A and B are shown apart, each in its own frame.
Chain A
């Protein structure tokens, strides 16, 4: 091992600029992979946290006929709130239209208990206000409908019998959330008000669970755990991560190609040296081991270099975060204005393993030629 190490160090340091370029490109790959992956992990973490805080709570108990992603299920997707339940915040979903500045906009009304603590929705505003029909909306909805706090707007809906009714609602608060699913096209009001408006007394479409909730099987209601609800977000981040990985795969491929080329050149140019090793009594496997180790050493040096300039760079990046362009925030998925990358130990170790493993493989491949090398020709320096 000492032999391989000292020989490799001397050889690659002796290669000067070629070594520096290989090591730099590989170290850059290290930093970019960890940087990009850290952003994705940071986004995933932020999206999960925001979704839990604002939308999913500790899970949801959903009426069997209600599908949150299918507006055709809204009408029949509700049922009477079961007796003897605790730790659940009921939410009733209903369809309506609003007419801001004379234009019609389709909206989803959600009735919620104003005293709920399952989500961060500022529903207390619904009882603090003294207006007749107080509602709260999110910043996206406010922007889309050109509504501000204290604005009154006409709302029209159908009650449980299908009869149209209309009234004026007042915006009492506009909340700022990264979760579009509780914001875009949504109007939040007291569930009691919605019961009165629709005649669906004591009905709910779904419940948001608090920590104290313990699920027992209930007829007509199905429970979705936090993880089940978060899965689409994680899948989306993973999919986005996949497309990001193309970038760093290309970068890594360039770095590995440089190592591969260096190894091919090294085995070709140093045949006399290889012959000498064999003549001195080294087995071919040992010679292959030395050359492979030498190639892998590029990744170790790259790791050191990446630590020198990458660690402070990534620490700074984690501090200031990654500003998400406004267009990306309207994608319909939970994206904050600034994503703070997370560089976990697992990410760093996985990246180190990936790069070390890949560089060892590409270092090894060209050295297989050594096993077929004629040591006599090699000693004479004849290229094979």
Chain B
């Protein structure tokens, strides 16, 4: 029997009011993402992929239709319920890393756990494990301004993964990385997807990322153009 999808978008639209006119960023989308998928929303700038990712991440709400994430209707969540959902179940990776500049690498990763009830021993173990996953244990005591772009993005991945979220949302994660670093980051994420069964959902227009994805949902002007599932990836 097929499991319930971890993310279910049903006839969802999202509009923004700009200068008195409504601009529809997403139009009547319907998508399902299953647990453990390594999928991406791809498309050119302005196609609505980040908007879709933000709604799935409960940072935004749809104007019409439903976005059900982990059986919770995003439209009906309060600020605090949405924060709880993100805190426990959703990890974010951003294009510009968004590391906290005053914290060390270790503390940046630990930060995600400080929002939950972990003992210091548990936190230490989990942080070191996360740093090992992404191969930056030796940089644990460095501040983000001493790291390269690739290293910073690895920290961001460790921070997103340390709490073992069910869903990891990555918004253009390779946009600020060179080719070599991009491949290393993507390999790491792929490995984590396979080992931890975390659902990865990317927003990207980078060909390198697309090569790694098992499924690509192509968006253009807020509409799904095609939804391709690659076999044997």
Chain A contact residues, CB within 8 Å of chain B: 2-3, 6-7, 10-11, 14, 272-273, 275-276, 278-285, 375-376, 379, 381
A375-B59, A376-B60 known; A280+B115 contact, CB < 8 A: yes
Name the A residues within 8 Å of B107 (CB-CB): 6
CB–CB A281/B98 < 8 A:
no
Query: Cβ of A375: which chain B residues have Cβ within 8 Å of it?
Result: 59
Interface of A is mostly: helix
Given contact pairs A2-B114, A272-B98, A280-B86, a sample of 4 additional A-B residue pairs in the complex whose CB atoms are under 8 Å apart: A273-B101, A279-B94, A282-B87, A283-B83
Return the chain A residue nearest B85 by Cβ.
Answer: A281
- Chain A residues with CB under 8 Å of B96's CB are 272, 381
Residue of B nearest to A284 (CB): B79
Given A10-B103, A279-B59, CB of A3 within 8 Å of CB of B84 = no
CA distance A376 to B14 in the complex (A): 14
Neighbouring B residues of A379 by C-beta, 8 Å: 59, 94, 98
A-B pairs, top 4 by smallest CB distance, nearest first, are: A281-B87, A10-B102, A281-B86, A276-B98
Partner of A281, one of B84, B101, B102: B84
**Chain A: minimal CB distance from B134 (Å):** 17
Interface contact A3-B114, CB-CB below 8 Å: yes
Closest to B53 in A: A376
Chain B residues near A2: list those with CB within 8 A: 114
Task: Select from chain B the residue with minimum beta-carbon distance to A380.
Answer: B96
List residues of B (83-112) whose CB comes within 8 Å of A's CBs. 83-88, 90, 92, 94, 96, 98, 100-103, 107, 111-112
- Max chain B C-beta neighbours (<10 A), residue from A14, A278, A280, A285: A280
B188 located at the interface, meaning its Cβ lies under 8 Å from any Cβ of chain A in the complex: no
Indicate which residue in B54, B79, B92, B98 contacts A283 across the interface (CB closer than 8 Å). B79
A3-B114, A7-B102, A379-B94 as given contacts; A278 in contact with B83, CB under 8 Å = yes
> Can you report 24 A-B residue pairs in the complex whose CB atoms are below 8 A from each other?
A3-B111, A3-B115, A7-B103, A272-B96, A273-B98, A273-B101, A276-B100, A278-B86, A279-B92, A279-B94, A280-B111, A280-B112, A281-B84, A281-B87, A282-B83, A282-B115, A283-B79, A283-B80, A283-B83, A284-B83, A285-B80, A375-B59, A376-B59, A376-B60
Give complex CA distance A43, B94 in Å: 64
Q: Which residues of B contact A272 (CB under 8 A)?
A: 96, 98
- B87 and A280 within 8 A (CB): yes
A281 in contact with B59 given A7-B102, A10-B103, A275-B98 (CB within 8 Å): no
A278 to chain B, nearest CB (A): 7
Question: What is the bound-complex CA distance between A379 and B115, given in angstroms?
Answer: 19
Q: Does B62 contact A (CB under 8 A)?
A: no
Interface presence of B57 (CB below 8 A): yes
